[in-house]
Amino acid sequence: MFRLKYANQMNRMNDRQKLGRIGENLAVEYLKVKKYQILERNWRYSRSEIDIITKFEGKLIFVEVKTKRTDEYLPPESTVGRIKKRRIIDAANRYMEQINYQDEIRFDIVSILVHGKSGHTITHFEDAFFPGMDG
């Protein structure tokens, strides 16, 4: 039953959505190997979504995942613009209110380039942006 439901959801996704889902799964596995504790995936608030919320070395970390194929012009991380950053920060503030968190935080970007069938490259940008940055 679960497999059929998941398969139907994947069938309704377009190629870009499928690539994004693959990228998020790769990012989660990468972070787990680095000993990050995954707390949430695809956490939503209003019109915003945080791809991954994790904890590492006592910090709460909000991770934006960007995935592209290598034949695209711009690197994945360059597509996180000012509006997207503002939405992530707003959602992060709401998440912290909900769990009553007041300690150190960080905003990261995990950039994934998919090289067709030959694999992928992951680049992790720690402290990629901060509240108050112009973007």
In a domain, 135, yes or no: no
pLDDT tens-place string over residues 88-121: 999 999 999 999 999 999 999 999 998 877 889 9
In a domain, 46, yes or no: yes
In a domain, 134, yes or no: no
Range of the domain at 79: 2-129
Residue 17 confidence (pLDDT): 83
In a domain, 48, yes or no: yes
In a domain, 27, yes or no: yes
According to DSSP, residue 127 is labeled: E
What is the DSSP pairing of strand 59-69 with strand 48-56? Answer: antiparallel
Total count of domains within the chain: 1
CATH number of residue 87's parent domain: 3.40.1350.10
**Residue % of the chain over a pLDDT of 90:** 63
In a domain, 6, yes or no: yes
| Residue 98: closest CA among 38, 47, 40 | 40
pLDDT at 11 > cutoff 90: no
